[in-house]
Amino acid sequence: MGEGMDFEPYDEFMSAEETKSWIRAWTGNNELDGAEYRVFGQDGTGGYAAIWCVKPEASLLGQPIVFLGSEGETGVVAQNFAEYLWLLAGGLGPYEAVAYPEEVRPSHPVFTAFATQHSGIEPIAAGEVLTRAKTAFPSFSEDLRAQCRYEDGDGGVPQTDGGTQFPPLGALHESHWEQEHDHEKLLMNSEYTR
């Protein structure tokens, strides 16, 4: 995508069936259907960026943007799509926003021009976008962790930055994975595909 950003946007949202398979594999919880997520892209390791539909009165673009990494990284990266455009303009993709939230990067001129033209809001620094998102949705990672079900009982490992890292998909019991999911469809070269 942008220089220093590891992100590939999709041409369309991930299908409901693929989203359901992914969230069940990611959490180990076969009761989830992932209906609240509209996955719109991924990083090179298979972590997904999604619109998280949790605000009943908000439009799709008014919903928060979240990142769920292939190694268990999680976070709300923007309160809405307009602010997400300013995150990109500030040089941070979804993965970078969760993995390196304190890192100051040079602004990206193409994304800055796009955000200026299409966001409909005043410019916001990437750090401020992240602060607003964390303030608005402080329990996202904890709430997600509470939905995880793993045979070893380890629902996730706290990170030193106060975030939460969940077990990677490899932590799921292999026979469970093979029984519940189409291995060839979801994994290719150890990465998610759409």
- Give the model confidence (pLDDT) of 68-108 as tens digits: 999 889 999 999 999 999 999 999 999 999 999 998 899 99
In the DSSP assignment, the letter for residue 22 is: H
Does the structure show a pLDDT above 60 at 32?
A: yes
pTM for the complete prediction?
A: 0.78
> Please, which residues have CB within 8 angstroms of residue 91's CB and are 6 or more apart in sequence?
2, 4, 5, 105, 106, 107, 108, 126
Does the structure show a pLDDT above 60 at 178?
A: no
Reference 167, options 187, 181, 151, 178; nearest CA is 151
Put residue 86 in one of left, alpha, beta given phi > 0 → left and psi -120 to 50 → alpha: alpha
Note the pLDDT of residue 60.
97
Domain residue ranges in the chain: 8-189
pLDDT band (50, 70, 90) for residue 26: very high
